[in-house]
A and B are shown apart, each in its own frame.
Chain A
């Protein structure tokens, strides 16, 4: 993000002009012009953010305190929607599923991404390295919904390519989409397949930022291989690890497309996620109050997990 295209000669040439007279006369006019311009420049963003984010956040909390089906006028409900939420087994299951999904997906995603980023540091021709990098990052540009359509065929129990592949090494066909545990695993795999490239790019960037001298010093001390990675690379990479896990967790808690297309939350409620419940409650059952209560709880959960993570990270993250 540097601006190499700016000719160096330009700035000094202009700066040598007499500076005093205009600077003394103009400030007030300039300030007013600057303030007016700032107001114009900020208006679209600030108005947009207030209307489409700030008001909806407040609205979500307010709505969660009402019974409302859009058709009849809203009735004040107090904490009734939250009480329903905490006793509604479907909602509870969706929170449990989402947390299980988050733990599995984020752990797998970080593990794969970090391993591949480290492996990419091996000696190899530059074109090969950029080929690998492009391949791992490619799924990120695809639509999660369309890819889930494709994966639904690939993971089909009877004619899917996945069962054929594992059959080659003698594994019996797995009911990927129709048994409870396998369905969750499939949703995790499909999600991680698409998302790991994001953490991978972060790690590649983080590894490039580690000064070579540190690796050389560690090598002189005899640290190589796994030992070097655990003792030297990982601590230096910990800020990147924090960003990757925070963003990974925030995104995983909002998972929707993959379970919606692959399993529609099933079998039973085995892969029903919180955002799917918000969708169903609001836009299929028109229960806007309870949908808002679930949404508010999800928001609180995301905030809590993120805050906890930053707190824990103070003990583990090393800044250079």
Chain B
């Protein structure tokens, strides 16, 4: 508001003059946006097309966007070089269990903070909010030691269990339940429903869109996660996809670029599926509070 009152008296420009001053005409803006979109998608397009070329052609410049001799040899190569099925199974197991686990813990805790009365509600919620600020990288050494004392290092459970509580998800679900009309629960209460019934039959069925945001965010983050698996999983049968791909690249060097890229494409497919199906919850989740890790 203060900016407006300052700006008003000084800007006495005639409309025609100001139109000339406009920095970018609409079509220029669209051109700039198109170039940026191509730069953004370029590496992905190059990855897909190179994975479909023969190893000999992977160094060709200019890169052929549409391969002249498309081949799936690189994809067969990935399956020979690394146990893709095992990596995919590990990644799926870890990611799916974390996503479901976060939906449950965040849904329950979020509901408690939004709709139930109990002592120490404010300090407990404050604690949850405060931990949203704590970066994982800073606590990784003690987390590793805690897991070691539980015998969970180099197990998939060691990746899954610590990821169940989610401060951000809890915050998000609390906001979500607070957004639901209070009358619904009060009406059910007058009908004689206890707190569990009110949760189970009135509010929980309405929570699906909020839970979808928590689930999609968890999927996106943990499917791509690299730091924790790198530290926790030492034997290759417990590797997840990103870890397997980086080690594949290390083992092959620059020799079989198309094989490595085929692996990257395979690991991108589920993320792509989530992007297509769950783009709205993902976007809402990312923008709703700005903290997604």
Contact residues of A with B, CB < 8 Å? 1-3, 5-6, 10-11, 14-15, 17, 19, 22-23, 26, 30-31, 33-35, 37-42, 44-49, 51-57, 59-60, 63, 112, 116, 119-120, 122-124, 128, 131-132, 134-147, 149-154, 156, 159, 161, 164, 193, 197-198, 201-202, 205, 214, 217-218, 221-227, 231-232, 235-236, 243-244, 246-247, 250-251, 253-254, 256-257, 261, 275, 278-279, 282-283, 288, 291-292, 295-296, 298-299, 302-303, 306, 318, 320
Contacts and interface: CB of A to CB of B under 8 A. Distances in A.
Contacts of A278: 137-138, 140-141
Contact of B183 (A15, A26, A145, A222): A15
A196 B13 CA distance: 35
B23 A226 contact: yes
Contacts of B56: none
Main secondary structure of the interface of A (DSSP, over half): helix
B87 to A, nearest CB: 12
Given A11-B183, A42-B124, A49-B165, A164 B257 contact: no
B254 interface: yes
B160 to A, nearest CB: 11
A193 B40 contact: yes
Given A136-B37, A143-B242, A60 B141 contact: yes
Nearest to B118: A38
10 shortest A-B CB distances, which residue pairs?
A48-B165, A59-B142, A143-B224, A56-B142, A14-B187, A56-B139, A45-B109, A235-B3, A41-B108, A145-B226
Interface of B: 1-4, 6-8, 11-15, 18-19, 21-24, 26, 29-30, 32-33, 36-37, 39-41, 43-44, 46-47, 59, 61-63, 104-106, 108-109, 111-113, 116-119, 124, 127-128, 131, 133-146, 162, 164-167, 170, 175-176, 179-181, 183-184, 186-192, 194-196, 199, 206, 209-210, 220, 223-227, 230-231, 241-243, 245-246, 249, 254, 257, 260-261, 264, 267-268, 271-272, 274-275, 279, 282-284, 286-288, 290-293
A232 B139 contact: no
Contacts of B113: 42
A147 B43 contact: yes
A232 to B, nearest CB: 6
A144 B226 contact: yes
B99 to A, nearest CB: 14
A91 B63 CA distance: 41
